[in-house]
Amino acid sequence: MKHTLTAGVGVVLAGASVAAGLAAGRMTPASRVEIKTLSTAATRVTGGDVLVQVTAPAGTSTKMTVGERDVSNAFRAGASSTARVGLITGLANGKNVVEVRSKAGGPPDASLTITNYPITGPVFSGPQIQPFICQTDTFKLPDGTTLGPPLDANCSAKTVVQYVYRTTGTPPAFKPLTTLASVTLPPDLATTTTSAGATVNFIVRVETGTMNRAIYQNAILHDPTVDAPVSPFSPPKGWNKHLVAIHGAGCPGGWYIQGGAMGTSPLDAARLGEGDALFVSTLNHPTNSCNAIVAGETAMMGKEHFIETFGMPAYTISTGSSGGAYTSLQLADAFPGLFDGVSIAATFPDALSIALAGLDAHLLTHYFASLPTGPTSPTSPTRPAFTDAQKLAITGYSTIKAFVDAANQSQRTDPVPNRADIEGYQSARWNAVVPENLRYDPMNNPRGARPTVFDVARNVYGTNTATGFALRPYDNVGVQYGLHALNRGAITSAQFLDLNERIGGVDQDSNYIASRTIGDAGAIARTYQSGLLLSGKGGLASIPIVDNATSNEAGGYHYGWFHYALRERLSQANGNSDNLVMWRSTVAADAKAMFDTWMAAYAADTSNDPQRTKVLRAKPANAVEGCYDKSTPPVFMAEHLVFTSQPTTKCSALYPVYSNTRTEAGGSVAGNVLKCRLKPIDPKDYKVTFSADERARLNKIFSGGVCDWSKPGVNQAPVVAWPSVGPSPEHLLIDGAKTTTSPGSPL
């Protein structure tokens, strides 16, 4: 349950984020009475409390009420003579009107409607997914105990505060602090000097509780023997006012569970030692929940609660690797103002891009497996064989293993258990805590829960009313697989035609079908609008982004092209990607120092210039693209990073980057066209001359036309800021409970 606080003494007043505005101390004197929320938007308050600021002309006496309730005593003097800040508690679910009066019995000088949602959610992620397995009874606290059994059907648990301390031993470690009396502090207690210059005992307050059906934690330096009790008006001496959102990794298996682990620990000794505060939740770990909208909602609630507990940060950043990278990117883009900067590694733009690239590659593994391996006969028409080199030319990957590893990532779209397929393929990935009788099986349990990236986010994609299955945005109509390989002379026209004639598609159960797959029109539109396919046009357009662009080209599916996809999406959306810095083979300490310098300069800019202008102006001189060589110690080489596997530059010689199936079919490395617009076949697009029979065959294969990659995709649109699928009516995309579209609806 949410930890409710009462107002204390003293004030720390700053903008809710750099993006949200200036700190109160920098504001011009108020000329009229105004009221605003600080910890979150007034339309998205959760848990019954919110931090509020009232400004009024100097000397004005004000009375604050919520309905008939006087809450004036909750307010304290702010950082300027015109500001007062208070933590209003006890809000009812739904609309609450806050009024400010300067005259007793007179009309309100200002009012604000605050919409409060239950701490159990949802706010804007739509009807909560069912079934849902609670795991509070197995979640380990810092002292090794657990949260205990859930208190209700929403997997709620009591809020627990524990302390740990950093030892002076070799190696140093965190240990539970079981006594808080100053005379009995442990002899091996370390101290730390923060980035703000404060030297404090290295004692960390760890709070664990539940919100939005997730288990959350926040961690901050707080010495209970000398610091005041925590409140938004008395932040700990050791906090440097930096707030860090951290995220776990993964995706397959990330559905229908609360999560028994975070995937990453808030006890980051380096960050905590510098004075950073960290927050995280189990639903920000894609291995538990591969749904960026739920992750955004949960992060919003976690940040709000942190502010209402400790006060306003100077800025909030998000960081993570792999699944934590795309969670950082998607949340920063779809929910502007939630984060003020992003620092990531092992980057993907989003989880969906992995799955879609996997589907293309998987169709090719199926096609290649269908080719005859023995001698032909008069009753067995001759079909062309493909060498491994030709397969790689078609798919773009560096090795057959890399190609197969990419193809196997389509398993996150496959709900059918125990499917026999290529080596390493694992359909219907489940966490073991989900009972077998709840799981989908097309024969034995056709109404069971479906373990796919689409079904876990069905509120966005929509559902087929006949089956209850999530609609899908995957589409390969008009895609000319192997187009680049054909034009480079790597494959023959006979191979190209046979491949595209027989490649086929997949259905809603990921079964292979002879026809190409037609994506659902509504699902495609909402995929773009919701940010489930990263746009780059939202919050990412105007915050610092640092990408450690190291990849594993030989296999494992953490491929370099995903980094370049991020850069290209930002360029397409904003004209350039100047607020992104990519370093290859990054020295982590150097990247962190550069990012911290950038964030500090950006946060210090109090001008009224556009946010993107301030971000680019604050960019450090060393924040340029480049790579580290392989010397000892590594030396940074500044140069534009080229998307190529050829040694055309120093960095590309050291770190070649390979392609993917749809890029080799003519698409952009951005990988952001879900369904291409079609154009008539044009002989000038081919560097081969087809015979008359081949031209007729090509026209039959692509009777509706081929992809025109020079145009935006069908229904392609920028992300909608703070998208909602209910219950919040703001920026509502679709009511997930009332979806009526069906697969294959016209475009």
pLDDT band at 10 (very low <50, low <70, confident <90, very high): very low
- For residue 17, the model assigns a pLDDT of 39
- For residue 181, the model assigns a pLDDT of 65
Name which of 695, 711, 712, 713 is nearest 703 in CA terms: 695
Are 353 and 663 in contact by the 8 Å Cβ rule? The answer is: no
Say whether pLDDT at 743 is over 60.
no
Cα dihedral 371, 374, 376, 377, rounded to 10, equals: -130
Name which of 51, 49, 52 is nearest 89 in CA terms: 49
Token pair for residue 113?
A: 């409607």
- For residue 744, the model assigns a pLDDT of 33
What is the per-residue pLDDT across 428-482, written as a single tens digit (0 to 9) for each?
Answer: 999 999 999 999 999 999 999 999 999 999 999 999 999 999 999 999 999 999 9
Name which of 581, 474, 602 is nearest 15 in CA terms: 602
User: What are phi and psi for residue 242, nearest 5 degrees?
Assistant: -100, 130
What is the per-residue pLDDT across 219-229, written as a single tens digit (0 to 9) for each?
Answer: 999 999 999 99
* Cβ-Cβ contacts under 8 Å for 231 (sequence gap 6 or more): 5, 6, 7, 8, 87, 309, 310, 311
- For residue 154, the model assigns a pLDDT of 98
- For residue 182, the model assigns a pLDDT of 64
Say whether pLDDT at 16 is over 80.
no
Here the contacts of 599-608 (C-beta below 8 Å, separation 24 or greater) are 599/242, 599/315, 599/317, 599/340, 599/341, 599/544, 602/18, 602/315, 602/340, 602/341, 602/544, 603/18, 603/314, 603/315, 603/340, 606/22, 606/26
- For residue 184, the model assigns a pLDDT of 79
Which 3 state secondary structure label does DSSP give 744?
Answer: coil
- For residue 28, the model assigns a pLDDT of 45
* Cβ-Cβ contacts under 8 Å for 587 (sequence gap 6 or more): 628, 633, 634, 636
- The span from the CA of 119 to the CA of 284, in Å, is 16
Give the DSSP H or E segment for 321: strand 315-321
Q: Which residue has the higher pLDDT, 533 or 22?
A: 533
What is the per-residue pLDDT across 273-305, written as a single tens digit (0 to 9) for each?
Answer: 999 999 999 999 999 999 999 999 999 999 999
What is the per-residue pLDDT across 37-51, written as a single tens digit (0 to 9) for each?
Answer: 999 999 999 999 999
Say whether pLDDT at 742 is over 50.
no
Q: Which residue matches tokens 């733009």?
A: 349
Among the ranges given (500-504, 566-570, 738-742), the one the predictor scored with the smallest mean pLDDT: 738-742
pLDDT band at 375 (very low <50, low <70, confident <90, very high): low
For the chain, list the domains and their CATH numbers: 24-117 (2.60.40.10), 160-313 (no CATH), 324-372+384-425+456-603+655-747 (no CATH)
* Cβ-Cβ contacts under 8 Å for 700 (sequence gap 6 or more): none
What is the per-residue pLDDT across 609-643, written as a single tens digit (0 to 9) for each?
Answer: 999 999 999 999 999 999 999 999 999 999 999 99
CA atoms within 13 A on the CB side of 327: 35
- For residue 14, the model assigns a pLDDT of 30
Which 3 state secondary structure label does DSSP give 547?
Answer: strand
- DSSP string computed for 295-310: HHHHHHHHHHHHHHHH
Across the strands, what pairs with 216? Answer: 209, 281
Say whether pLDDT at 272 is over 80.
yes
Q: Which residue has the higher pLDDT, 173 or 1?
A: 173
Among the ranges given (48-52, 266-270, 420-424), the one the predictor scored with the smallest mean pLDDT: 420-424
The mean pLDDT value for 350-369 works out to 98
Percent of the chain with pLDDT over 70: 92
According to DSSP, residue 144 is labeled S
What is the per-residue pLDDT across 631-690, written as a single tens digit (0 to 9) for each?
Answer: 999 999 999 999 999 999 999 999 999 999 999 999 999 999 999 999 999 999 999 999
Mean predicted lDDT score pLDDT of the chain: 92
Cα dihedral 639, 642, 647, 649, rounded to 10, equals: -20
Name which of 74, 9, 87, 15 is nearest 48 in CA terms: 87
- The span from the CA of 349 to the CA of 462, in Å, is 22
- The span from the CA of 689 to the CA of 503, in Å, is 22
- For residue 79, the model assigns a pLDDT of 66
Name which of 300, 304, 331, 309 is nearest 318 in CA terms: 331
According to DSSP, residue 441 is labeled B
What is the per-residue pLDDT across 694-730, written as a single tens digit (0 to 9) for each?
Answer: 999 999 999 999 999 999 999 999 999 999 999 999 9
Q: Which residue matches tokens 């189990």?
A: 282
- The span from the CA of 367 to the CA of 370, in Å, is 5
pLDDT band at 213 (very low <50, low <70, confident <90, very high): very high
Say whether pLDDT at 745 is over 70.
no
Helices (H), 375-507: 388-395, 400-408, 458-461, 483-487, 493-502
Among the ranges given (115-129, 367-381, 508-522), the one the predictor scored with the smallest mean pLDDT: 367-381
Say whether pLDDT at 19 is over 70.
no
- For residue 381, the model assigns a pLDDT of 59
- DSSP string computed for 474-542: ---TT--TTHHHHHTTSS-HHHHHHHHHH--EE-TT--EESSPPPPPHHHHHHHHHHTSS--SSSGGGG
Name which of 100, 132, 79, 93 is nearest 34 in CA terms: 100
Percent of the chain with pLDDT over 90: 88
Among the ranges given (25-39, 199-213, 574-588, 675-689), the one the predictor scored with the smallest mean pLDDT: 25-39
- For residue 15, the model assigns a pLDDT of 32
Is the Cα dihedral 681, 683, 687, 688 positive or negative?
A: positive
Say whether pLDDT at 599 is over 90.
yes
- For residue 247, the model assigns a pLDDT of 98
The mean pLDDT value for 554-580 works out to 97
